[in-house]
Structures are given as C-alpha cells and as structure tokens.
Amino acid sequence: MAYNFFVHNDLTFGKDAVQELPNILAGEGVKNVMIIYDEGVKVAGIAEKVVTQVEKADVEITIFDKVLPNPSNELVEEAAAIAQEKKIDGFVAVGGGSSIDLAKAVNVLMTNPGPIGQYGGIGLVKNKVHPLIAIPTTAGTSSEITNVTALTDTVAVCKYVVIDNKLVPSHVIADPEFTRTMPKSVTAATGMDAITHAVESYISNMATPLTEYNSIKGLQIFRENLPKAVADGNDMEARENMMLGCIITGFGFSNANLGLVHGIAHTLSAHFHLAHGMANATVLPYVIAYNAPSCPEKMVDLAKAINLPLTGNIEEDQYALAKELEALTKELGIKRLSEQGIKKEDFDMLADDVLKEPVLNFNPRQGITKEDVLAILEKAY
C-alpha cells in the first residue's frame, strides 16, 4: 500500500530565531507586509520585537492587532479588506492558533475571491497564496506547520475548517523564548491541545506508519515536559521541548486528521467561545475511553509509549491512557464543563451539532450516536 505524507515548511528553530526574519522577507521579495497579532502578544512585548525585525527588511508595514480567539468570518473579511487596500504581498503572523489561522484565511482571500466560508472543506482553494511567516507564541495548536485554518461561522453558529496544502505557512520561526510569558492556565490548555493532536491522529482511521511515528513521539515529549512547563514557566528546556513536540506532532496530524474530541471542542467553542485547547482538554479523557474498544491495540501502544503500568490484559489496558489523561487534566487544573458556564440543558443542542462535524469521519469508532455524545458531555460535566 502506498502512503502520502505532505510536508512543506522552511523552519528556523531556537533562541533568537526571529533575527532571521529580515533575510526571509528579503528572500521572498515581499514589499508590503501585514503583521497579524492579538493584544496579549502586544502586552507581552513580543509584537514589538517582531516589528523591529520586519523594519530591517525595508518594507511597508501594516499592522492588524484585532485578533480574537476562534476568529470569525467577519474578522477574516475585515482584515482581508485592509490587506487588499494596502496591496499586501506577504504576511507575518505572531501568536497562537487564532492569529496564525486568521493570517492563513486572509491570505486565501488575497488571491481567491471571497467570501471565506466557501472554502470550508478539503482542497477547495484554487490559487496559490502569498508568503506567510508564522511565529508561534504558544506550544499547542501546531497551526504554524499545518494545512488547516479553523474559523467560526457566527451565522450558522459553528466552527469549521479550511484544509488545503496551499495554506501551509511558507516559513516558520519557532523561538521557545516567545512562549515564556504564557500564563500557567494557557500553557496547560494549549499543551493539552497538543496531546489531543498526538492521540487523535495516532488512532485516526486515516493514520499511516508515516504519521504514527510523529504522533507517538509527540505524546512522549508532551507527557514528560508539559507538567514541567506548567509548574515553572521559566523552565526553558521544557518550553523548547514542548515547541519541538508541536512541530513533530503537527506533521502527523495534518496528514492523519483528528476525530471526535475536536468535533465536540469545535461545537463548544462556536456556541460558548471556549478556548480551543481548554475545550479539547475537558472532554479528551472521556472520548478516548469511548474510542478504546475500537482500537485497543493502539491504545496499548500509546500507554506503553509513556510507560504506564499495564496488566497484560488488553480488555483492561486499553483504558490505561484514558485514566492517565483524566489524572493529568486534574493535575493541570483543566476546568470541567460546569466550571466553564455550560449547563446541562445545553447538552441536547450541543450533541445535535456535534453529529454534524465532518471531523467525525476520521474518528476510529464510527456510528456515533447522540446518546454517545450526551454521555461524554455528562462525564465531562
């Protein structure tokens, strides 16, 4: 059987990597740059460091600093209108998944007609896009190296994805120092997002030997380093390993896709504006337990990879990972649904919408019912 594994990144990794930004822009021949980031990146002083480097490239600079979590179609259209007016021919995205996803979507509309919503799905972007340099400030989403942008349709009240190889940033500047200022809660939530990517891509029904290595290696890195990074934000060895793990895992899940955890998380974020990482983390242990009977050998593989104690009885050992993830979410202070403003009377509506999520096609356990989703939400409550 033949396997396809798509990777397309020019990656600069390590301390002071941002100093390569002027050379990258010059190499791309960019003249009009839009720098995209959010208020948190600005307050942390990271935006200023990036702008200083862009200024060395002798380019015209436009700043868009209105990024919000779970970026909406309207926000994409607003930023794209400015970019078109300024004749932007290159982007620098600084921040977490929301900033990078917004930049990817805006970039699509520079060379493809709007509205952005028509590109929801796989492989629908027709024309090549402009250079995009992604500079992550979190270790979680892997958006900097994936072919996916996740957006919110505020009219349909749903979160959807545009998946196309043209979306992959042309360059990545990954400096672990830029993650140092992340609060504990954000470090925990984004780190659990990364663990979700590793686990879901490993058990995905689209996984191949080429993706499985990345997924399982990423899980090993995250399990060892995430608690350290949360406990001490200045532990730069842990921070660096987390960022490295996100890149490794991103190569895997952008090829293997994800599953039911993300289906539920997308719905929670669309309706209640939960941060993506927190939404994933809250339901992760219970979805993994639900999926275990459909892929027990893979569940044992993952448990062995992080040295969990096993009995040798696969009927019992298939649940070891789910139990470990539940313990980890408690250790890291991940909030339950009841602590995030979700009410039980919301469950029925949420479950209906989860079943509409295309990502469920890649989940290892098929035939998911409304009752299944309701049971998972109840356990996460």
Q: Hey, what domains does the chain have and what are their CATH numbers?
A: 10-179 (3.40.50.1970), 184-380 (1.20.1090.10)
The reported pLDDT for the residue numbered 348 is: 97
What is the average per-residue pLDDT within 133-140? 96
SS (H, E, C) the chain: CCCCCCCCCEEEECCCHHHHHHHHHHHHCCCEEEEECCHHHHHCCHHHHHHHHHHCCCCEEEEECCCCCCCEHHHHHHHHHHHHHCCCCEEEEEECHHHHHHHHHHHHHHHCCCCHHHHCEECCCCCCCCCEEEEECCCCCCHHHCCEEEEEECCCCEEEEEECHHHCCCEEEECHHHHCCCCHHHHHHHHHHHHHHHHHHHHCCCCCHHHHHHHHHHHHHHHHHHHHHHHCCCCHHHHHHHHHHHHHHHHHHHHHCCCHHHHHHHHHHHHHCCCHHHHHHHHHHHHHHHHHHHCHHHHHHHHHHCCCCCCCCHHHHCCHHHHHHHHHHHHCCCCCHHHHCCCHHHHHHHHHHHCCCHHHHHCCCCCCCHHHHHHHHHHHC
pLDDT class of 9 with cuts at 50, 70, 90: confident
What confidence tens digit (pLDDT) does each residue in 284-319 have? Answer: 999 999 999 999 999 999 999 999 999 999 999 999
Kindly state the percentage of the chain with pLDDT values over 70.
Answer: 100
Q: What is the pLDDT of residue 7?
A: 82
Q: Is the pLDDT of residue 93 over 90?
A: yes
Mean local confidence (pLDDT), 308-335: 97
Q: What pLDDT band is residue 28 in, cutting at 50, 70 and 90?
A: very high
- pLDDT tens digits, 111-122: 999 999 999 999
| pLDDT over 90 (residue 362) | yes
For residue 2, the model assigns a pLDDT of 86
pLDDT per residue as tens digits for the range 32-42: 999 999 999 99
**What are the tens digits of pLDDT across the range 44-91?**
999 999 999 999 999 999 999 999 999 999 999 999 999 999 999 999
